Amino acid sequence: MSKEENLSDSQGRTDHDRLFKELLSTFFEEFMALFFPDAYEAIDFEHTSFLSEELFTDILKGEKRRVDLLVETHLRGEESLIIIHVEPQSYEQTSFHDRMFIYFSRLYEKYRRRILPIAIFSYDKVKEEPDTLHISFPFFNVMTFQFLKVELRRKNWRDYIQQDNPIAAALLSKMGYTPEERVEVKKEFLRMLVRLEQDPARMTLLTGFFETYLQLSEEEEQHLRMELQKLDPDEEGRIMELTTSWHEKGRREGKQEGRQEGRQEGKREAVYVLLQAKFGDAAKALHEDIQKLTKDEYIDELLLKVTIAPSLQEVKDFIQDKVSKQTKDKRLQ
């Protein structure tokens, strides 16, 4: 693998991790309630705070790795603080359980507190991941390390569609479903969004996450529209009115050109809402530049970038780069 390919692959994983981090930090309590109800009942969510990322160096490989999500809190009825470490994993790694133990060891060395480690496996292959590391001799057991885990592809998406939980809605896109079920998964996601009644910024985050991992083809979108027409008229109408359901909004316009512009405007509205929610009034300075983006793929990429970007400057640089590429493409035509 070349340095360029390695860099590209690493950047792709970084974006994936940031997207999961944004989702989990926004809906952390709902995540714990959905997958770990016993832990959820024990944790005091009124006193949680998110710690800064930890950067560790693998001494043997010379690689730098970040711990994705650290939450400081305590259990109900207790004063002592605990740490919850959540690690999304988007690709297969045979030594992943070793890495979880190394993270645990480094975190314990720094904080000297009880640590609850959790892994979320989101790659497409259906596989049971080990969650335990044993170190022992025939005559002595040195230690047993174990972490909680969520293996998304091993989850049946139908088991979660009745949950009024935003994490369940977003993660339908990464659960186990067949290619023939893709349209139905999107339909049930939209129905869940209607029931959840989240604010526009959170709706945008949930929709942006879902469509990053499950984006329908034009033919599938047509099938979806037919399926939505079979719903109760009130429910269908509420789905169509979702601010962040830009695809549906765009396709309700007249001719193809109108539909295209409608889709783009809906996406831009979603970008504006999320920018304002994340960065406040300072985001208004980017509205004019956003309007300059006319390529569908660039607007889609911008929505994802806004969702995961840690700073407004990173969004601004991204927009300027895409506008420049768009201008260059037009000159070459």
**What's the pLDDT score for residue 195?**
93
Q: Which three-class secondary structure string do you get for 33-67?
A: HHHCHHHHHHEEEEEEEEECCEEEECCCCCCEEEE
Tell me which of 76-80, 120-124, 205-209 is least confident. 205-209
In this structure, what DSSP letter does residue 76 have?
T
How many CB atoms within 10 Å of residue 159? 11
| 237 — pLDDT class (breaks 50, 70, 90) | confident
Res 228 pLDDT > 80: yes
- HEC string of 230-254? CCCHHHHHHHHCCCCCHHHHHHCCC
What's the pLDDT band for 3 if we cut at 50, 70, 90? very low
Question: What SS3 state is found at 329?
Answer: helix
Nearest-10 crossing angle of helices 200-213, 182-196: 170
For residues 208 and 169, the answer to whether their CB atoms sit within 8 Å is: no
Per-residue pLDDT tens for 176-227? Answer: 999 999 999 999 999 999 999 888 778 888 988 898 899 888 899 889 989 9
β-strands 148-151, 43-51 pairing:
unpaired
Lookup result for tokens 């309700």: 252
Structure tokens at 220: 């599938």
Structure tokens of 280?
Answer: 């406040």
Cβ distance 250 to 263 under 8 Å? yes
Whether residue 172 is predicted with pLDDT greater than 90 in this model: the reply is: yes
3-state secondary structure of 210: helix
∠ CA 24-27-28, rounded to 5°: 65
Helix (H, G, I), strand (E, B) or coil at 133: strand
pLDDT higher than threshold 80 for residue 70: yes
Q: What is the pLDDT of residue 256?
A: 45
- Flag the least confident range among 98-107, 185-194, 241-250: 241-250
Query: From CA 245, how far away is CA 267, in angstroms rounded?
Result: 8
Indicate the pTM of the whole model: 0.72
